[in-house]
Amino acid sequence: MSFKLTFSKMLKPIYLIILIIVLVTVAFFGYKIYHRIQLRTNFGSGAGSNQSVHINNGEGEIPKSGDLCGGTGGNGQIVSVGKNRFTLKQKNSSNRIIHLTDQAKIKISTGSGSLSDLKIGDRVTLVGGPNSDGSFTADTVVLCN
């Protein structure tokens, strides 16, 4: 009888530990699913912008016509174009050098484009990341209409 009571008392902490592990696991996977849904919803944030480009003709698709920047005007206006880079006048009137990766994609209203499609005065939205020197490296450049 004494053994049975001791064994029963030992099982209670084990059940509690198992319950905690299950709850932590459910919370972790719930967060991962929520985060994945949020990424799909907020597609298209540009360089340092708090605005999102909403694309209404299918998830992840670039529209074939119209304003590719969703009326936001993009991240700025091109003021000079060089080899694998250009200078962008941002909305706050400061200039920023934009470097293009070797695999950079340039999206225009007719589909894919190239660096030669970017002209002084064009407005663009960027996808990429800032560099420590203040420049920006773009993986994707979307030419606004």
Residue 31 lies in a domain: no
Residue 35 lies in a domain: no
Note the pLDDT tens digit of each residue in 5-31: 565 666 677 888 888 898 888 888 887
Note the pLDDT tens digit of each residue in 74-84: 788 999 999 88
Instruction: Tell me what pLDDT residue 100 has.
Output: 92
For residues 71-100, average pLDDT: 86
Residue 79 lies in a domain: yes
Residue 85 lies in a domain: yes
- pTM of the shown model: 0.53
**pLDDT confidence bin for 70, thresholds 50/70/90:** low
- Mean model confidence pLDDT for the chain: 75
Task: Quote the number of domains for the chain.
Answer: 1
| Contacts (Cβ under 8 Å, ≥6 apart) of 44 | 52, 53, 54, 55, 70, 125, 127
CATH code assigned at 64 = 2.40.50.140
Question: What is the domain extent for residue 48?
Answer: 42-145
**Cβ–Cβ contacts within 10 Å for residue 95, how many?**
13
